[in-house]
Amino acid sequence: MTDKPIVIAHRGASGYLPEHTLEAKKLGFSMGADYLEQDLVLSRDDELIVIHDIHLESVTNVVQKFPYRARDDGHFYVIDFDWDELKQLKVHERIDPKTGLAIYPNRYPVYKGNFNLHKLEDELRLIQVLNKKNNKHIGIYPEIKKPSFHHQEGKDLAAKTLEVLDSFGYVSKTDRCFFQCFEQKELQRVRHDLNSDLKLVQLIGGGPDNQMATLDGLNEISDYANGIGPALDRLFSAADSSEGYSSYQLVIFPKLVSMAHEQGLLVHPYTFRKETIPQDIDLVTFGKMVLQLIRIDGFFTDFPDLGVESVNRFLESR
C-alpha cells in the first residue's frame, strides 16, 4: 500500500476542458495531479496521436472537414489519416455522434473553443518543460489503445510508443511513467518480448466476469505487471453508473484490492467523476471515503483538483 495515493489526471483535466487537449493537460498539471494520462492511437504515417478512440467523430469535426473518408462501417479511423490532415481538425467536448449532444452536458460547451489534436511527443515536451520550470516531477501514464486492431492494420503501436518514450528518457521502472493496456497478451509482450523495464499496469474492465480479477488472474498479472487499473464497478456496486443512486446503496468489494496487494500489485482504479458518483455526496467527500474504506494506491479522475483535495483530506484524517 502506497503512503500517499496518487492522482492521475484522466485525459487531462477533462472535467473542465475537452479531453486530451494540451490545454486540459496544462490545467491538470496546474491542479497538482501526480500523473497525466495519454491514450494513444497511430496515424496512417505512424505518428502517435493522443486520443481516446480509434475513431475521430466523437471529439473532432472530421465529418465536416473530411466528409467522404468514413469506412463502410460509418467510422472515421485515425489510422486512415496522416498527421498533416489530423492537425487540421478542431477538437471539441465529447459528443454522441448519433445525436450531436454532449456526453456530459455540464462540462465545457460543445463545439466552442479552438482546440487541436497533438502528438505524444508534443505532450511529453510540454510536461518536461513544465516540470523543469516549476521544479516538479509530474509523471506520465500512457495507454496503448486497441493494439490488436493496430496489428491487423499492420502497425505495432506498443513498439512505436516505447520508442518515443525512450527518446524522452522514460525507460525504467524508476522513471515517472506507468504504461497501461487492457489487452493482456500485448502487455505481456511489452514485458517479455519488447523487454520494457517500465512500470506496467494491467487494465481490467467492468462487467460480471473477468478471469484477470480472480486470485489466479492476479497471480498471473504479477508475473509481468506492477499494478492493475480496475473499473470502479469492481470496487463498488452501482459505481460508474449513469443512473442516479445514493451513497446508502453502495456496496463495497474490498477483496480485489487486498488480493492485488498480496500479489505485490498497485491498484489504480478508474474513473472518479462528478457525474457517476452517488447523488447525495460530492466528489471530494466520495474520494476521501473511498480512500478510507479501500486502501487503493491512487485513482484516475476527470477532476484532478478535487482528487488532490480528497487525498489531502484523507491524509489529514489519519
Residues that are catalytic: 10, 52
Taking contact as CB under 5 A, which single stretch among the options 14-22, 135-143, 155-163, 168-176 is the one that binds Ca ion? Answer: 135-143
Which one, 119 or 145, has the nearer CB to Ca ion?
145
Name the CA radius of gyration of the chain, rounded. Answer: 19
Give the x-and-dash track for 62-91 against ligand G3P (CB under 6 A). Answer: ------------------------------
Alpha-helical runs (H) found in the chain: 22-30, 62-65, 83-86, 120-134, 147-152, 157-167, 184-192, 215-221, 255-262, 283-293, 304-316
Residues 6+ apart with CB under 8 A from 251: 236, 237, 238
Q: Is the peptide bond between 271 and the residue preceding it cis, with omega within 30 degrees of 0?
A: yes
CB of 103 to ligand G3P, least distance (A): 12
Q: How far is the CB of 116 from ligand G3P (least distance, A)?
A: 20
Number of residues that bind Ca ion (CB under 5 A): 2
Distance CA 290, CA 66 (A): 45
Q: Which of 219, 213, 228, 220 is nearest to 269 (CA)?
A: 228
Q: Within 126-145, which residues bind ligand G3P (CB under 6 A)?
A: 143
In the bound state with Ca ion, the residue whose beta carbon lies nearer, of 143 and 183, is 143
The residues in 171-230 that bind ligand G3P, with binding defined as CB under 6 A, are: 180, 203, 229
* Interface with Ca ion in residues 20-39 (CB under 5 A): 39
Cα distance between residue 65 and residue 47, in whole Å: 20
Q: Which is nearer to Ca ion, 39 or 53 (CB)?
A: 39
303 forms part of the interface with ligand G3P (CB under 6 A):
no
Q: Does residue 240 touch ligand G3P according to CB under 6 A?
A: no
Whole-number Å distance between alpha carbons of 14 and 272: 11
Nearest partner of 26 among 118, 145, 160, 97, judged by Cα: 118
Phi, psi of 172 (to 5 degrees): -130, 170
- Binding-site member from 66, 76, 81, 300 for ligand G3P (CB under 6 A): 300
> Which of 19, 47, 123, 143 touches Ca ion by CB under 5 A?
143
For ligand G3P, the closer CB: 65 or 274: 274
- Of 118 and 273, nearer to ligand G3P (C-beta) is 273
Query: Contact positions toward Ca ion, by CB under 5 A?
Result: 39, 143
Query: Contact positions toward ligand G3P, by CB under 6 A?
Result: 10, 39, 52, 143, 180, 203, 229, 270-271, 300
